[in-house]
Copies of this chain bind each other. A is one copy, B any other.
Amino acid sequence: MTQPYHHGNLRQALLERATEILSEKGVEGLSLRGLARDLGVSHAAPLRHFSTKAELLNAIALEGVCSLIAATKKADAQTPGTARLRAIMLAYVNWAIANTELHHVLRNPDVMRHASDDLTTLLASFAARQKAEIRAAQDAGWRADEDPDVLFLHLVSLTAGTAIVSTEEVYQQRVPLPKRQSNIEDSIDLFVG
């Protein structure tokens, strides 16, 4: 019995294997031909699904954003206000910690440089949602006298920054995990608290 001519679900397999490679070797260590080898298909097969390497990376980034958005959506259970802001920010940071490599892809200038319209649109809508949360929290009385734009910038910066500091090796201090986790929560509380 020989290999079937068609792989079955090459597109999905490519995305999954690519994500594995990314966490091992990063964007530069990822090659379309290497993926083809790993999956036992011909060297040009991946091109049927992603016509360039950039397109593959973009698809992974898209997957990442969807996953991130889903993760933060759960925080909607909280009523608007400080608890909800805290939940949203923590959801983001925890998602980044749990999906380090996807997070790195989203942070990689070489990937985002070629971001598709889909991707940028999704990111923009994500930002809009965060902005709306700020407004809602202010309506509920939180920091009502501050400029919403400043609060928005602060929230986005702090969230992105905490995610980066929490996932990039360079920043990893020799701090035990429980302590680190509680530091993250306390740090966020400095803002929302």
Interface of A with B (CB < 8 Å)?
26-28, 104, 107-110, 112-113, 115, 120, 123, 127, 146-147, 149-151, 153-154, 156-162, 164-165, 168-171, 175, 179, 183-184, 186-187, 190-191
Known: A115-B170, A170-B123. A154 touches B110 (CB 8 A): no
Contact between chains at A186 and B150 (CB < 8 Å): yes
* 8 Å CB contact of A109 from B149, B162, B168: B168
Contact between chains at B156 and A161 (CB < 8 Å): yes
CA distance A27 to B120 in the complex (A): 21
A120: nearest residue on chain B (CB-CB)?
A: B170
What are 8 contact pairs spanning A and B, CB under 8 A? A26-B110, A27-B109, A27-B110, A107-B164, A108-B108, A112-B170, A127-B171, A150-B186
